[in-house]
Amino acid sequence: MMNNNQAIPFNKDNFKQILTKEFLLVIIVSVPAAIIAEYFNLPLAWFLGPMIGTTITSFCKIKLKVPKLILSLILIVLGLYIGYNVDKELFSHIHEWVWTSLIMFVYILLSIIIVSKYLQKFSQYDKKTSIFSAAPGALGPLMILAEHEKSDLSHVATAHLIRLIIIVTVFPFFVNSFYDTEIITIQNSIQTDQNLIELLYLVGLSIILIVFFDKIKIPAALLTGTLVASGLLQITEIASYQLPNNIINYCLMFLGASVGCRFAEKKFSEIANSAFHSLIATLILVLLGLVAAFLASLIIDKNLFTLILSYCPGGIYEVAVIAIFFDLDPEFVSFHHIIRLLMILFTVPVFMKVLSIKKSASDPK
């Protein structure tokens, strides 16, 4: 039996959560919110509408919850949707991404150093809390590390959640304003001779790899597992399956709602107190990301918006759906966010070790 901390919590408690009032309310709030957002032509309407609706509802002290099992299934579907394009041609270009990955590492280092100094000076965060809050992404793993280091979990979570809200709200409008919307229209053509058995192969291997990756602590196991499974089966020509495009709207709805539900335990006053400095910290991270994207554009032939999204300090799954919606090379974007997660999980403990050494050296004997 899997527990709630695992990537796919396949147990009785999580099945029960699907039948709860909290999840029913998520659907009741999210569906009309998505329709209204679409009516007003908001970019990424099926994501932003439910996110805004559930955020407002959460602040009204109404309990909402997207069951982890539902969210896991949605993320597997997204992974399979992206994974359809993981093929031999894609792998032939991965060696070209070494330099963009190196730029990512430098971007992470500068982000943590600069933003943590800002938070220490102006938000009065302690050094450890400021480092966890400054890291550009990886909220889940960072919360575990922050708890281990006895850091202020509330400050860390609030800083990351406000940053995520800002990114996923502003970026779609930014792209919609400056990018040719005729180019980004999602194509509706789908192969008609697909074999459902091949879809079962993809799902089966994805689940096996997700569970395995989760056990060995590979970050974003739900996305990593499905991408690796898709790549293996398609390169070996064992299985390939293109999911219908209209399924993405439902994924967007639940993923957007899950972002809003994260504010359920937060007080509005707590959010308001952290909002200004979190906004400044986000602006610093975005500026550093823009510089990184510009440098990457000098060494690789990619759309600038794809590069900006690749260095965007948002959540990996939320950023992935933006890449899918605007057709901004989601495989490239997902790869760089997975690399970013791995680099953050390597870098932050090093910062903690340096702090520990400095503290030991400064303590009187």
Model confidence band, residue 260 (pLDDT cutoffs 50, 70, 90) = confident
Smallest CA-to-CA distance from 108 within 142, 155, 57 is with 142
pLDDT single digits (tens) 117-168 = 999 988 888 888 899 899 887 776 677 677 677 777 777 877 888 888 888 8
The CA-atom distances, in angstroms, between 317 and each of 74, 292, 328, 353 are 10, 21, 14, 29
Whether residue 2 has pLDDT greater than 60: no
pLDDT single digits (tens) 287-309 = 999 999 999 999 998 989 999 99
Task: Please tell me the pTM assigned to this model.
Answer: 0.77
Helices 316-325 and 330-362 cross at an angle (nearest 10°) of 160
The CA-atom distances, in angstroms, between 26 and each of 55, 78, 323 are 11, 20, 25
Q: Give the number of C-alpha atoms closer than 13 A to the C-alpha of residue 293, restricted to the C-beta side.
A: 20
Whether residue 182 has pLDDT greater than 60: no
The answer to whether 165 touches 263, Cβ cutoff 8 Å, is: no
The CA-atom distances, in angstroms, between 255 and each of 46, 48, 50, 52, 72 are 9, 10, 9, 12, 10
Element (H, E) at 53: helix 45-59
Lowest mean pLDDT among 129-143, 179-193, 222-236: 179-193
The percent of the chain in helix, strand and coil, each rounded to the nearest 5, is: 70, 0, 30
pLDDT single digits (tens) 263-286 = 766 666 667 767 788 889 999 999
Most confident range, picked from 10-14, 76-80, 244-248, 306-310:
306-310
- How confident is the model at residue 235, as a pLDDT? 86
- What residue ranges define each of the domains in the chain, with the CATH number in brackets? 12-358 (1.20.1530)
